[in-house]
Every structure is written in C-alpha cells, then in structure tokens.
Amino acid sequence: MSDAGISDAGRKVALITGGGSGIGRASALRFATAGYRVAITDIDPAALADAEAQLVAAGGESLGFPADVADFGACGRVAADVLSIWGRLDALIANAGVQIGGSLLDADDADCDKILAVNLMGVANSCKAVLPAMQEQRSGAIVIVSSINALVGSVGMTLYDMSKAAVLALARSLATEFGTQGIRVNAVCPGNTITDFHINRMAKQGVSVDQIRAMTSGYGLLGRAAEPAEIANAIHFLASEEASFITGQTLVVDGGFSVTGRAQ
Ligand SMILES: NC(=O)c1ccc[n+]([C@@H]2O[C@H](COP(=O)([O-])OP(=O)(O)OC[C@H]3O[C@@H](n4cnc5c(N)ncnc54)[C@H](O)[C@@H]3O)[C@@H](O)[C@H]2O)c1
C-alpha cells in the first residue's frame, strides 16, 4: 500500500518528458507528492539521475529513462517499459523542449529541423506513444507544455514561437479525436520561469540566478518571473480529477504578462 492508503495497483502513474530539469522536474515532484508513481525521461542522463535521486529522497517512487523525444522509437519503448512495470499510464506531461533564438533570417535548416523535431514532433511522439494505453484504459490525461510565446510575439524567437503555437493545435486536435474515449488533452502556456533554460544561458554571460531574479522583477502583473513549482501546480491540476470536465483548453500561467504585454 502507498502512504496515501491506495493499493499499489491502484496508484496512478505519470510520465513526464524532460523531467531532469526545470518545469519537468518540479512537475515530477508535484505528482510524486500527490501519490503518483512517476516516470521521467530526459536526453541528459546526469540531469535524469539527479532528478531521480531527488524524487526518491522526497519519498516518491520513480523510474528514469534516458530518451530523446525526437525519436519515436525511444518514446514507444519508454511507454512500453512503464506499462510492463507499473501496468498503467494515467498522465503524460509532454514538457521536453529546447530554445533556439535568433531571427528567422539567420536560421539555418539544422535550427529548423532541431526545433521542430524536439518541440513539435517530440510532443507528438510522446502523445502517440501513450495514447494506445490510454485508449485501452478508456482514461488518461495529457498536458502539453507550450509557452506564452505561442500567444504573444517576441523579437528573435520565431522558430521557438512557431513550434510552441503548433502544439496548441496538436492539443486541440487530440482532445477532439480522443475525448469520447475518456482521454483529456490540455496545454499550459507558462510565462517567464526561472529554470536551467535561462540559468545556463545567462551563466554564460556571467549573470547569476539572483541577478536573473532582479532583472525579471517587474515581469507581468505580479512583478516577477515564476518558480517552476508554480507551473507544476497548474500542470498537476489539469491532469487531476479536479479538471475532469476540462479538455482541449489552453491554460495561461504567466503572472498576467499577456494581459499587459509588459516584459518588465
Ligand atoms: N523557462 C521558461 O521561461 C519557459 C517558459 C515557457 C515555456 N517553457 C517550456 O517549458 C518546458 C520546460 O522548460 P524548462 O524551462 O524547464 O527547461 P530546462 O532546460 O530547465 O528543462 C528542459 C529539459 O528537457 C530536456 N530535453 C531537452 N531536449 C530533449 C529531448 N530531445 N528529449 C528529451 N529531453 C530533452 C533537457 O535535458 C532538460 O532537462 C519547455 O518545453 C519550454 O519550452 C519554459
């Protein structure tokens, strides 16, 4: 029996892509806290091992799978392994993503291929890998992690923005096709969130995390960027029974940034 008093066979299972860092790792912790068994995948084995250790230390039950979401075969093997070990798959958080900045005029084919392979096809691959199990269960919840950049334009982010907008259409389309089979599909659009995404990029310019916080003070209506756990809470809500009548929707979690259009 789990701590929550639910039999082990009845414990829900969440699969989170890009779970080694940032929003994915915070989501893994959130689902573990809610009593889920949590499988995480990541392309970075060191980040994956570190996240797994953190989940276990927090009392969670976790499996880590090194996998590239751009590779459908890898996504399929992860889903099959999770099912063979835990026998069910209740939630997919399609979170793994990369950022490639710069003007479209400077983007080369490799940039375009990479962003579409990870941010668009990686999400589609992850969904395709879990949907047959959810169809068989006649239940399941998918949460796709898009971005506020899907809704609000920004200079020098064209490839990223188009990939994030495309997955909103994917969420709507899957929600439409699979709703009557008990499968809900929603998306979240996080605003600026202080994760390794930004921390590593800024560190190369000699900017510390505290300096990033200072630089983002004034963001949106709350005057600050998000912590990963705040995005994870919204993701968990959409996957949970609390959201049982919500599907095909986009939840904007941006501290009001899109209301003002003001970056800082
Ligand atoms: N941080 C933000 O401000 C922000 C805002 C809006 C949306 N997002 C989105 O949230 C998601 C998570 O971002 P984050 O800020 O936590 O980033 P992060 O870089 O901290 O974490 C992303 C994780 O995904 C993994 N990953 C990258 N490519 C992968 C691949 N091909 N296969 C498997 N794993 C892969 C990375 O190794 C990393 O562990 C992304 O989709 C991002 O676009 C982030």
Q: Give the pLDDT confidence score for residue 2 in this predicted structure.
A: 43
Question: What pTM did the predictor assign?
Answer: 0.96
Q: Write out pLDDT tens, residues 217-262.
A: 999 999 999 999 999 999 999 999 999 999 999 999 999 999 985 6
- Superfamily per CATH, domain 8-191+227-252: NAD(P)-binding Rossmann-like Domain (3.40.50.720)
Q: Identify which of 159, 152, 235 has the alpha carbon closest to the alpha carbon of residue 192.
A: 152
State the alpha helices, DSSP H only, in the chain.
22-33, 45-57, 72-86, 109-115, 121-137, 158-178, 196-203, 209-215, 228-239, 257-260
> Six-digit token pair at 1?
């029996």
Residues of 235-250 as b/e, b for ≥16 C-beta within 10 angstroms? bbbbbbeebeeebebb
Model confidence at 10, in pLDDT bands (50, 70, 90)? Answer: confident
Note if 160 is an active site residue.
yes
Give yes or no for residue 158 CB within 6 A of ligand 1: no
Which is the closest atom of ligand 1 to the Cα of 194? 1
Distance 125 CA to ligand 1 centre (A): 16
Ligand 1 contact via 192 beta carbon (within 6 Å): yes
Enter the tokens of residue 194: 């202080």
The pLDDT of residue 163 is 98
The model's confidence at residue 263, banded by pLDDT at 50, 70 and 90, is low
pLDDT digit string, tens, across residues 18-34? 999 999 999 999 999 99
pLDDT score for 200: 87
CA-closest candidate to residue 40, choices 50, 31, 32, 48: 48
- Counting from 1 in the atom list of ligand 1, the atom nearest the Cα of 26 is 16
Q: Is residue 3 very low, low, confident or very high in pLDDT (cuts 50, 70, 90)?
A: very low
Residues 54-102 pLDDT 10s? 999 999 999 999 999 999 999 999 999 999 999 999 999 999 999 999 9
pLDDT in tens, 104-154: 999 999 999 999 999 999 999 999 999 999 999 999 999 999 999 999 999
Q: Considering the chain, tell me which residue range(s) the CATH 3.40.50.720 domain(s) occupy.
A: 8-191+227-252
